[in-house]
Structure 1
Amino acid sequence: MDKPILTIFYQFNPWRSSIGGIQTVIKNFVKYAPEEFAVRLVGTGDDPRQPIGKWQEAELAGKAIKFMPVLYIENDNVRKLIPTTIKYTAALFGRQLASDFMHFHRLEPTAAALNWKGEKTLFVHNDIHKQISSQSGKDAIAWRYLPAAYFAIERLLVKQFTEVLSCNTESAKLYRERYPQIADKVKYVKNTVDNEICYPLTWDEKERERLNLAEQMGKSEETKFILFAGRLHPQKDPILLVQSIAALNNSNVHLLIAGDGDLRDKVSSEIDRLGLQNQVTMLGAINQNELAKLQKICSAFILTSAYEGLPLVVLEALACGTPIVTTRCGETPNLLSPKSGVICEERTPVAIADALGRILYNPRDYPIEACVEAAAPYSAKTVVGDIYKDMLERWQQRSSLSKNQHLTSLTGVSP
């Protein structure tokens, strides 16, 4: 029996350090794909010598895949005048890339797939309706200016999906309410964390690595590190993040910002304005393994977001034994316990600084074991494995039915 083919569609180059949890989720779906599946990835390229629109044999996360870039994107961490999603969607039109299973991580590209045969799954990573209503400013999601147009496109496209999988319970609920005709296809799905990369150190190991990092950076032995990782975008509100460090007013606290994006220059200016040059380091985009090293040794991971789904970096930090400070948005507050993080009821520098202080000054109240326990249900090997298991069962049922129908047509007798 031939292997079922899964084709994953997303606007990124998997061999470059780009920012976003979606990229890591996709890599988990490649890494933990069972041998029964053949996996293809339709993405972007950044080398003009790379042929566009041609399948190439490649390896990703230790697995052999087929990869097709459909356009060139030199740096997908910074938005251009025409959004990358629109360019990527346009590049898909006129192509025939259907397969047994197709995974989409943005709605817009599915417009090119309306007539493609095969199972289509839409992964919803953010609460798009909150994004559209966000008041985050001119750099927020472009659909905020055309909400009626977005919802009209959404109504047209959602009918084609076999499944809509959301990592945000509120978003899943909203999809069921807005589209009752597909309500039974909308499901909550856990986001994923790779425990082979994200795992905790002991308290002694963590302390030793913290001291090593402080020495490497020329900081005092008393320095405690706070980590943020993500796109520097109004959704994440990195300006509020920097202001919270100023409000904490502790010279022995150092913020590490792993990420890049449209607000990079504004964040740098805010650091200068607040005189935090010695307390904040902007690392730029770093790969998953480098990020995991930091997640294991920092005292806290922080999110000051205006809206979220379930950020993968939260699960990674928890799996590394690091507690979370977060605003009350997205799915994160639902998975934290009083021993694995602090939820800020107000999105203000003072409230966030107070939450950070609770963890920094009472670290034993947030034990490594409690953090790891909070992330345990989100193991990529388990979550991804279960999704593939369901896919394989459906494919086998279809194959068996097709075989029986073929035999009936040949013999006139039902098997």
Structure 2
Amino acid sequence: MKIVVTGTRGIPNIMGGVETHCEELFPRIAQSGFDVTVIRRKSYAQDTLTEYKGVKLIDIETPKKKSFEAIIHTFRAILKAKSLKADIVHIHAIGPALLVPMARLLGMKVIFTHHGPDYDRDKWGFAAKTMLKLGERMGTMFANEVIVISEVINDILVRKYGRRDCHLIYNGVPQPEICEYPEYFKELGIEKGKYVLGMCRFVPEKNLHHLVEAFSKIDAKGCKLVLAGDTDFEDDYSLSLKKMAKEHGVILTGFIRGRKLHSLLSNTRCFVLPSSHEGLPIALLEAMSYKLPVIVSNIPANMEVGLDYSAYFHVGNVKQLTEKLQANIDHPYQQIEYDMAKYDWDIIANEIAKLYQSTIK
């Protein structure tokens, strides 16, 4: 069975939640016997790979413009999928889902994964939000099968479109890779167990400016704040965040993967995610897999993970976040055991493989 994947910037080592999802999922799908091709946006691919862990990679030229690149790339990817005689086109995210009807008209089966209501993101203007809402509608109404990554999203699709047969399949998280990297810590100027970690893209809805503001108000007792991540499109927000961070002595790592990221997760005293919008945050699941204490906003996607009440603060409330950070600094570090069973990538891949098989029967 031939599966063609679009709606992602690509794999491997490309920043983004959907990209991390695809990088973990599709090699497992390929290993189970499916012919999988991921169509990448050439401007994001920093390599010349044609295959990654059994997944075929095809790069397509796409203009790197925030408002247009996803839809142009998806249009070209669907035409490519048709030329490849794909049995199923698997489209990720609501923007690319605008073209689900096109793929259906070309005679292909379509599976649409809804990663979250992106029209709630602060970075989009009215026109973009309107198109994203239309994409959600087109994907939900016309895809053969719809996958949702949280109950929150499932409820949205039932309420807005009456679609009650969506498949709830969570994001996953790989096994933690506990490691030390003293040379990297020396380069950053941090010490093991003496920093708080934020890890995400530098976009407004992640509210990292709230984290920087809150951390600047506490008695850090020698601890530092580390922000791991960057932005796809440098804009006023990302520039102001970086300026604010530097003014307050925050450590900025840039986009990192592999041993650098694993060492930061292995040795931090706390992970913080103050977002106003998420689908089901992989970064939070990763932190939980490392048994870290976490402080997160009380948005529905974070609440669905089911953390202890003490881990949450009211989204946007910098005073509460400050208090939570101070409490973490004041108390001895203690690992937390989370139930991660439903976030197992092998189980998730098996569920999606079964869905592929049932879709073409």
Q: TM-score range by the shorter chain?
A: 0.7 to 0.9
Q: Which amino acid aligns with 2:22?
A: I
Residue 345 of structure 2 is matched in structure 1 by 380
Q: Which amino acid aligns with 2:322?
A: A
* Inter-partner Cα distance in structure 2 for 1:107 and 1:325: 28
Aligned 8 A contact 2:78 2:89 in 1: no
Q: Which amino acid aligns with 1:286?
A: I
CA deviation profile, 1:216-266 (whole Å, cap 9, x unmatched): 544567x61111111100111221121111122425121111111133311
* Inter-partner Cα distance in structure 1 for 2:45 and 2:184: 38
TM-score by length of 1: 0.75
Counting only pairs closer than 5 Å after superposition, residues 61-210 of structure 1 correspond to structure 2 as 63-72=53-62, 80=65, 82-92=67-77, 94-95=79-80, 96=82, 99-110=86-97, 111=99, 112-128=102-118, 131=120, 136=122, 140-142=123-125, 144-145=126-127, 147-180=129-162, 182-184=163-165, 186-195=166-175, 198-199=176-177, 209=180
Counting only pairs closer than 5 Å after superposition, residues 13-412 of structure 1 correspond to structure 2 as 13-15=10-12, 17-33=13-29, 34-46=31-43, 58-60=50-52, 63-72=53-62, 80=65, 82-92=67-77, 94-95=79-80, 96=82, 99-110=86-97, 111=99, 112-128=102-118, 131=120, 136=122, 140-142=123-125, 144-145=126-127, 147-180=129-162, 182-184=163-165, 186-195=166-175, 198-199=176-177, 209=180, 215-219=186-190, 224-261=194-231, 262=234, 263-272=237-246, 275-277=247-249, 280-338=250-308, 342-364=311-333, 366-368=334-336, 370=337, 373-392=338-357, 394-395=359-360, 398=361
Q: Any unmatched runs of 5+ in structure 1?
A: 51-55, 202-208, 399-415
* Inter-partner Cα distance in structure 2 for 1:14 and 1:150: 23
Q: Which amino acid aligns with 1:381?
A: D
* Identity in percent: 17
CA deviation profile, 1:146-186 (whole Å, cap 9, x unmatched): 65554445434433212221223222111112222x322x2
Q: Any unmatched runs of 5+ in structure 2?
A: none
Larger Rg: 1
Once the two structures are TM-superposed, the CA of residue 9 in structure 1 deviates from its matched residue by 0.7
List 4+ stretches of structure 1 deviating above 6 A.
Answer: 47-50, 210-213
* Inter-partner Cα distance in structure 1 for 2:262 and 2:149: 22
* Inter-partner Cα distance in structure 2 for 1:48 and 1:7: 18
Once the two structures are TM-superposed, the CA of residue 331 in structure 1 deviates from its matched residue by 2.0
Relative to structure 1, is the Cα distance of residues 150 and 382 closer, same or farther in structure 2, using a 3 angstrom cutoff? Answer: closer
TM-score by length of 2: 0.85
Aligned 8 A contact 1:244 1:348 in 2: no
Q: Which amino acid aligns with 1:161?
A: A
| Secondary structure, aligned partner of 1:19 | coil
